[in-house]
Chains A and B, each alone.
Chain A
Amino acid sequence: ETGVTQSPTHLIKTRGQQVTLRCSSQSGHNTVSWYQQALGQGPQFIFQYYREEENGRGNFPPRFSGLQFPNYSSELNVNALELDDSALYLCASSAFRGANTDTQYFGPGTRLTVL
Chain B
Amino acid sequence: QKEVEQDPGPLSVPEGAIVSLNCTYSNSAFQYFMWYRQYSRKGPELLMYTYSSGNKEDGRFTAQVDKSSKYISLFIRDSQPSDSATYLCAMTGNTPLVFGKGTRLSVIA
Q: Knowing A33-B96, A40-B8, say if A111 contacts B88 (CB, 8 Å).
A: no
Which residue from B42, B95, B100 sits with its C-beta under 8 Å from A42?
Answer: B100
**Minimum Cβ distance to chain B for residue A42 (Å):** 3
Q: Which residue of B lies closest to A41 (CB)?
A: B101
**Residues from chain B with Cβ under 8 Å of A44 in the complex:** 99
Which residue from A92, A99, A104, A111 sits with its C-beta under 8 Å from B94?
Answer: A99
Q: Which residue of B lies closest to A104 (CB)?
A: B97
User: B18 at interface (Cβ–Cβ under 8 A)?
Assistant: no
Query: Contact flags (1/0) for A32-62 with B, using CB distance below 8 Å?
Result: 0100000011111100100000001010000
**Minimum Cβ distance to chain B for residue A110 (Å):** 10
**Residues from chain A with Cβ under 8 Å of B96 in the complex:** 33, 45, 48, 56, 58, 100
Q: Which residue of B lies closest to A56 (CB)?
A: B96
**Bound CA span A41–B4, Å:** 12
Q: Knowing A100-B95, A101-B92, say if A42 contacts B101 (CB, 8 Å).
A: yes
Q: How large is the interface on B (under 10, 10 to 19, 20 to 34, 35 or more residues)?
A: 20 to 34
**Bound CA span A6–B40, Å:** 16
Residues on B facing A (Cβ under 8 Å): 4, 6, 8, 31-32, 36, 41-46, 49, 88, 90, 92, 94-102
Residues on A facing B (Cβ under 8 Å): 4, 33, 40-45, 48, 56, 58, 90, 92, 99-101, 103-109, 111
Identify 20 new A-B residue pairs, CB closer than 8 A, beyond the known A42-B100, A100-B95.
A4-B43, A40-B8, A40-B101, A40-B102, A41-B102, A42-B88, A42-B90, A42-B101, A42-B102, A43-B97, A43-B99, A45-B97, A100-B97, A101-B32, A101-B94, A103-B46, A104-B46, A108-B43, A109-B41, A109-B42
**Minimum Cβ distance to chain A for residue B66 (Å):** 19
**Bound CA span A101–B49, Å:** 10
**Minimum Cβ distance to chain B for residue A56 (Å):** 6
